[in-house]
Amino acid sequence: MRRAARPLLYLGIAGVVLGLSKIHARYIADPPYSFHGSSRFAWAIAYIVLLALAAYGVGLPDLPRTTRQALLSSIAAAATGAVAISLVQLVAGDALLPRFVVFGAAILLIPWFLFCVGFSTDGGTRAAGRDRVLVVSDSASASVLRQEISRSSERPARLVAVVPVVDASPSVPGELPLVVRAREDHVTVLVLDREAQADTMLVSQAAALHSDGMRVRTLSLFYEEWLGMLPVSELERVSLLFDIGELHRGRYGRVKRVVDLVLAVVALPFLAMTLVVVTIGNLMGNRGSLMYSQMRVGKNNEQFRIYKFRTMRDAPADAATEWTAEDDPRITGFGRVLRISHLDELPQVINILKGDLAVVGPRPEQPHYVEELRQKLPFYDVRHLVRPGLTGWAQVKYGYAGDESDALEKLQYEFYYLRHQSLGLDVRIVGRTIRSVLGRAGR
């Protein structure tokens, strides 16, 4: 049901907009006209797309968890779509769509959005109850698994228990402690770490559970499939054991670069318009230089200068800075607005055109941080085999990194991205970034 909720939501948007358009063309317009034979058909499609983007951006239908959140998100999506098409009509100086269609659709879609949220939540609740997970492990990765599942699960799951290997392995012949525990707790997914996989008696119990229909995964595979990351304990071991799209599949790298250039060129007019707004904003609440630049480490460990609109009090451009906290006191009033809206990142379009950045990839760090992390994490340099990105899987899954501990946490997501790098995943990341920008505060 959860998977069906999103296409159902989009079909509803199309049905309402097209239905109201046909009603207006046949019964309300004077004289009546052929809707499909007019330019309004194309604009109706554009309105459908705007409403669908607005709904996705605010998290419909799967993110709201309360009735209040669902109602506010539904109103926001409908209003955003209506305002967007109205602004287009204002700029065009023509009534591209009748007000009956624009505002009628916005009003009718609010209850439809609420229905789809309820449909998605019901399905998600049952799925969460269906994936009952038991982990056999002594590793540190398993001890924080409950927190990871609650924060960033890609597939709904509930961690029933983490059982030490010694407790899961039989102490006397004929004993089956893991089988008994799994069946008592109605487990549907059994997860084994490397030590558990080396215990033949434990593996034989897992085989018996597997034959009963229970899914069995290694700890690494569970992290990948359910959490979209690789566990810390596996990073060094697997750092060379997978192909990287940008490095090992030449066609992917070329197509990705072409797409980056097209998107950057499209974004240039927005950068030009934003320059005016930011210049005025700086005069009012962010006095100082307009731009901020800093050295970062890119592909193949080559350093480059990254560009942003300045959001903090002026400092030397190449000064080594501290980790920036989310509520950093150095951020100015207008700078906070730029961060919340993510407009401070827009000058990085220049970096994309130059080839320093891609649209999607690991976030580039300052050279002195890279050196520190390289000393502590021997496998850290693997992330520098690809072009860094304006956004990335770690950004949409984990968010802001404020210290070395956060950097290690994000590295688990970056390795997942490197292992699964593809155009499909890139599109998914861009979509989630749009949702994040529209639905949450900035760094």
Asked if residue 154 lies in contact with residue 211, where contact means CB atoms within 8 angstroms, the answer is no
pLDDT score recorded for residue 11 = 95
Least trusted range by pLDDT, from 116-120, 226-230, 274-278, 398-402:
398-402
User: Does position 318 have pLDDT exceeding 90, yes or no?
Assistant: no
Question: Is residue 274 located within the same domain as residue 421?
Answer: yes
Band of pLDDT at residue 441, cut at 50, 70 and 90:
very low
Please compute the mean of the pLDDT values over residues 103-109 and round it to a whole number.
95
Question: Is residue 312 located within the same domain as residue 171?
Answer: no
Angle at 66 between CA 62 and CA 67, to 5 degrees: 100
User: Does position 220 have pLDDT exceeding 70, yes or no?
Assistant: yes
Question: If you search the block for the tokens 């499939």, which residue do you land on?
Answer: 225
Question: Is residue 16 located within the same domain as residue 157?
Answer: no
pLDDT digits 0-9 by tens, 350-369: 999 999 999 999 999 999 98
Question: Is residue 274 located within the same domain as residue 367?
Answer: yes
Please compute the mean of the pLDDT values over residues 137-145 and round it to a whole number.
75
Last residue of a domain, one of 195, 227, 259: 227
Give the amino acid at 391.
Answer: T
End-to-end CA distance of the chain: 34
Question: Is residue 266 located within the same domain as residue 353?
Answer: yes
Band of pLDDT at residue 443, cut at 50, 70 and 90:
very low
Q: Which stretch of DSSP H or E encloses residue 10?
A: helix 2-23
Contact residues for 89 (Cβ-Cβ < 8 A; gap 6+): 95, 96, 97
Residue 235, domain member (yes or no): no
User: Does position 139 have pLDDT exceeding 90, yes or no?
Assistant: no
Please compute the mean of the pLDDT values over residues 262-285 and round it to a whole number.
89
Pull the structure tokens for residue 298.
Answer: 């890119």
CATH number at residue 188: 3.40.50.10700
Give the amino acid at 378.
Answer: P
- Mean pLDDT of all residues belonging to the chain: 86
Q: How much is the pTM?
A: 0.72
Residue 234, domain member (yes or no): no
Question: Is residue 53 located within the same domain as residue 144?
Answer: no
pLDDT score recorded for residue 88 = 84
Return the closest-CA partner of residue 443 out of 402, 409, 404.
402
Classify the C-alpha dihedral 411-412-414-418 as positive or negative: positive
Question: Is residue 270 located within the same domain as residue 419?
Answer: yes
Look up the domain containing 74 and give its range.
2-124
Instruction: Give the HSE-up count for residue 69: Cα atoms under 13 Å, Cβ half-sphere.
Output: 13
**What does DSSP say about strands 303-309 and 291-297: parallel, antiparallel, or unpaired?**
antiparallel
Compute the residue count for the chain.
443
Query: Most distant CA pair in the chain: distance in Å?
Result: 89
Please compute the mean of the pLDDT values over residues 386-399 and round it to a whole number.
91
Question: Is residue 197 located within the same domain as residue 94?
Answer: no
User: Does position 112 have pLDDT exceeding 70, yes or no?
Assistant: yes
Please compute the mean of the pLDDT values over residues 90-108 and round it to a whole number.
88
Least trusted range by pLDDT, from 146-160, 316-330, 331-345:
316-330
pLDDT digits 0-9 by tens, 66-87: 788 889 999 999 999 999 898 8
pLDDT score recorded for residue 49 = 93
Residue 54, domain member (yes or no): yes
User: Does position 323 have pLDDT exceeding 60, yes or no?
Assistant: no
pLDDT score recorded for residue 19 = 95
Q: Which of residues 330 and 282 earns the better pLDDT score?
A: 282
Question: Is residue 95 located within the same domain as residue 50?
Answer: yes
Residue 147, domain member (yes or no): yes
Question: Is residue 189 located within the same domain as residue 114?
Answer: no
Return the closest-CA partner of residue 137 out of 221, 225, 215, 196.
196
Q: Which of residues 155 and 152 earns the better pLDDT score?
A: 155
Return the closest-CA partner of residue 408 out of 372, 359, 355.
372
Asked if residue 177 lies in contact with residue 167, where contact means CB atoms within 8 angstroms, the answer is yes
Asked if residue 55 lies in contact with residue 77, where contact means CB atoms within 8 angstroms, the answer is yes
What does the DSSP assignment read for 390-431?
EE-HHHHHT----SHHHHHHHHHHHHHHHHH--HHHHHHHHH
Residue 322, domain member (yes or no): yes
pLDDT score recorded for residue 148 = 82
**H-helix segments, 58-164:** 67-92, 99-130, 140-143, 145-152
Question: Is residue 80 located within the same domain as residue 142?
Answer: no
Last residue of a domain, one of 198, 227, 256: 227
User: For the purposes of burial, counting CB atoms within 10 Å of the CB of 149, is it exposed (0-12), middle (13-18) or buried (19 or more)?
Assistant: buried
Number of separate domains in the chain = 3
Q: 178: alpha, beta or left, given left = phi > 0 and alpha = psi -120 to 50?
A: alpha
Question: Is residue 138 located within the same domain as residue 120?
Answer: no
Residue 237, domain member (yes or no): no
User: Does position 442 have pLDDT exceeding 50, yes or no?
Assistant: no
Last residue of a domain, one of 170, 194, 227: 227
Residue 43, domain member (yes or no): yes
Number of CB atoms found within 10 A of residue 68's CB: 9
Residue 240, domain member (yes or no): no
pLDDT score recorded for residue 322 = 60
User: Does position 143 have pLDDT exceeding 70, yes or no?
Assistant: no
Spatial distance between the Cα atoms of 435 and 432, rounded to a whole number of angstroms: 5
Number of CB atoms found within 10 A of residue 229's CB: 27
Spatial distance between the Cα atoms of 163 and 143, rounded to a whole number of angstroms: 10
